[in-house]
């Protein structure tokens, strides 16, 4: 919805007049509107100057006010002033808020959600199981999120088609994308079952690497199932159907808890598998979630108009090119970020299992709380994509800024919760005193980590809605591998006086993430200005 603007121009001093062409005024530095041609102005060079740049987004977004704004300007070469009164009604934000709120819990990655349970259960088994699971997930998640990042491109593709009301094309696009997902499933299984060849070369306790390798083999089938599930999830979310995804993900996470306990500790006649048991539980849940979502989409009336499984559609090189063009930068960007965590785990592994385990607990806590801003950021890709498809760029930028502000607010709340209850949360993960003490010390960094991480997620999700993925990938690489990792490595191993060990790596990651949040916000501003 375009804003309605009431303008009153009042000239304080009058004399001779001349015509002023192309006078413009804007809400902010991104958007300006022509207020008319051949406007009679005082005898002058007719230069229009804004004396105030007022950003309406925070007020309108959070409080849904319709503010009365007064912008003063000066008419060049004469001693006269005027006034423009703007009564802005940019549209009710209820739709944005409802969409983002309904997306909580549905859009986060289920592997990440269940990973929190895995770490808690494995951590209570032993420090070795916790360290082995940490090392395995560090490698596995980096690869999984690279591949799932490719699939994430389905969300803005479907969202823009849905906004343009091209429903039959949506179903056809889904069937073409499923071929890509099947290929990626094979790739995942092959990589995961052979990662132990790399793990064995690390300067780490062989007992830990053995647990890591076995865990990755156990979780490989489940990760392949999650690839299909993610493809269908992005299809559903692209049409703003987030509630069924939330329900399936919620029950999947709940069921994962007893399965973890059964396989890790060996209940009901099962052998005690330690951290490896978490991989088996995840595979079972991944298979069940995939099957349930397929059945639901096939029979629910909410999807009938797109005819998702109505006919056979062959492999499409055009769609494959489109998916990889958008998705590879997303996947590479996620890989750069998560490989930073993998690199951190490798760097810290030389300090022993206690340091690795304590670091893992802190990372897991930070990741768990990050699920809320992640939900909003992923939902923003859909919301912005829908509005772009509807050819409503003004409302799209409001949705983008709504996502950023909401992500920032939730990140601040997360930080406060971690600071206040950090020690209690750590107690859920481990009972070993050395690991617990280090993890509690690192929760301060985990709390600070939330702020730039939340901000960047809102902007990054919005950029995906604009189908802008290559530039964020470059910015991620610069932020994490030019700044975060070198700084973290130096502080961890050397410091300015003494090595800081785990704390040094967290300093580096926070610095890198802060740089990225600034860069990605700047990129979004540029995209909005030029869209």
pLDDT (0 to 100) of residue 37: 40
Comparing CA positions, the residue from 250, 255, 262, 246 lying closest to residue 378 is 246
Q: What is the DSSP string of 344-391?
A: HHHHHHTT-HHHHHHHHHHHHHHHHHTHHHHHHHHHHHHHHHHHHHTT
What is the share, in percent, of the chain residues with pLDDT greater than 90?
A: 18
12-16, 141-145, 154-158 — which one is most confidently predicted on average? Answer: 154-158
Model confidence at 375, in pLDDT bands (50, 70, 90)?
A: confident
Instruction: Count the neighbouring beta carbons within 10 Å of the beta carbon of residue 66.
Output: 14
Q: What is d(CA 16, CA 394) in angstroms, rounded to the nearest whole number? A: 38
Instruction: Count the neighbouring beta carbons within 10 Å of the beta carbon of residue 311.
Output: 8
Read off the tokens for 509: 């990651």
Residue 367 pLDDT exceeds 50: yes
Residue with tokens 């979780």: 219
Comparing CA positions, the residue from 162, 137, 148 lying closest to residue 374 is 148
**Domain locations in the chain?**
17-87, 94-530
Q: What is d(CA 102, CA 79) in angstroms, rounded to the nearest whole number? A: 54
Residue 63 pLDDT exceeds 50: no
Total-model pTM:
0.67
pLDDT (0 to 100) of residue 108: 52
Q: What is d(CA 79, CA 65) in angstroms, rounded to the nearest whole number? A: 35
- Average pLDDT in the 270-290 region? 86
Q: What is d(CA 443, CA 362) in angstroms, rounded to the nearest whole number? A: 6
pLDDT (0 to 100) of residue 34: 42
In 10-63, which ranges are continuous DSSP H helix?
57-63
For residues 382 and 238, the answer to whether their CB atoms sit within 8 Å is: yes
Model confidence at 20, in pLDDT bands (50, 70, 90)?
A: very low
In 47-153, which ranges are continuous DSSP H helix?
57-63, 94-102, 110-125, 127-152
pLDDT (0 to 100) of residue 129: 76
pLDDT (0 to 100) of residue 384: 85
Model confidence at 100, in pLDDT bands (50, 70, 90)?
A: low
User: What is residue 4's three-state secondary structure?
Assistant: coil
Q: What is the DSSP string of 424-451?
A: HHHHHH---HHHHHHHHHHHHHHHHHHH
Burial of 94 (0-12, 13-18, 19+ CB in 10 A): exposed
Burial of 19 (0-12, 13-18, 19+ CB in 10 A): exposed
Residue 72 pLDDT exceeds 70: no
Model confidence at 113, in pLDDT bands (50, 70, 90)?
A: low
Per-residue pLDDT of 379-399, as tens digits, reads 888 788 888 888 778 778 888
Residue 91: phi and psi, rounded to 5, are 115, 150
């Amino acid at each position: 919805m375009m804003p309605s603007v009431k303008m009153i121009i009042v000239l304080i001093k009058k004399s001779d007049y001349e015509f002023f062409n192309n006078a413009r005024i804007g809400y902010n530095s991104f958007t300006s509107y022509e207020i008319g041609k051949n406007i009679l102005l005082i005898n002058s060079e007719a230069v229009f100057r804004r004396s105030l740049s007022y950003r309406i987004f925070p007020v309108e977004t959070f409080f849904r006010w319709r503010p009365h704004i007064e912008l003063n300007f000066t008419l060049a070469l004469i001693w006269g002033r005027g006034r423009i009164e703007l009564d802005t009604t940019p549209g009710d934000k209820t739709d944005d808020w409802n969409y983002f709120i309904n997306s909580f819990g549905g859009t986060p990655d289920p592997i990440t959600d269940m990973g929190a349970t895995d770490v808690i259960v494995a951590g209570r088994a032993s420090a070795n199981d916790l360290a082995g699971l940490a090392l395995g997930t560090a490698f596995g998640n980096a690869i999984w999120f690279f591949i799932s990042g490719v699939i994430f491109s389905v969300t803005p593709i479907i969202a823009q088609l849905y906004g343009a009301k091209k429903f039959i094309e949506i179903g056809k696009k889904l069937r073409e994308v499923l071929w890509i997902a099947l290929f990626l499933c094979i790739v995942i299984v092959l990589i995961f079952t052979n990662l132990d060849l790399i793990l064995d070369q690390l300067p780490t306790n062989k007992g830990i690497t053995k647990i890591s390798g076995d865990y990755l083999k156990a979780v490989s089938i489940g990760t392949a199932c999650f690839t299909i599930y993610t493809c269908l999830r992005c299809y559903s979310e692209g049409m703003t159907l987030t509630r069924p995804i939330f329900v399936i993900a919620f029950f999947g996470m709940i069921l994962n808890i007893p399965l973890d306990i059964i396989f890790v500790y060996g209940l009901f006649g099962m052998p005690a598998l330690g951290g490896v048991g978490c991989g088996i539980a995840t595979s079972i849940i991944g298979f069940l979630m995939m099957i349930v979502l397929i059945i639901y989409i096939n029979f629910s009336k909410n999807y009938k108009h797109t005819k998702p499984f109505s006919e056979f559609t062959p492999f499409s090189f055009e769609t494959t090119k489109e998916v990889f063009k958008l998705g590879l930068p997303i996947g590479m960007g996620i890989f750069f970020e998560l490989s930073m965590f993998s690199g951190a785990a490798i760097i810290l592994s030389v300090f022993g299992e206690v340091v690795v385990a304590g670091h893992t607990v802190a990372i897991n806590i930070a990741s768990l709380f990050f699920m809320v801003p992640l939900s909003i950021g992923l939902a923003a890709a859909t919301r912005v994509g829908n509005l772009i498809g509807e050819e409503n760029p003004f409302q799209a930028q409001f949705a983008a800024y709504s996502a950023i502000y909401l992500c920032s607010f939730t990140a601040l709340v997360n930080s406060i919760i971690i600071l206040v209850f950090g020690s209690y949360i750590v107690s859920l993960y481990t009972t070993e005193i050395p690991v617990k003490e280090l993890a509690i010390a690192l929760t301060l960094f985990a709390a600070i980590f939330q702020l730039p991480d939340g901000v960047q997620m809102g902007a990054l999700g919005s950029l995906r809605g604009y189908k802008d993925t290559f530039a964020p990938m470059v910015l991620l690489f610069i932020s994490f591998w030019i700044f975060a990792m070198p700084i973290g490595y130096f502080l961890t191993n050397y410091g300015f006086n003494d090595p800081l060990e785990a704390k040094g790596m967290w300093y580096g990651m926070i610095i890198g993430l802060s740089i990225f949040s600034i860069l990605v916000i700047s990129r979004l501003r540029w995209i909005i200005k030029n869209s």
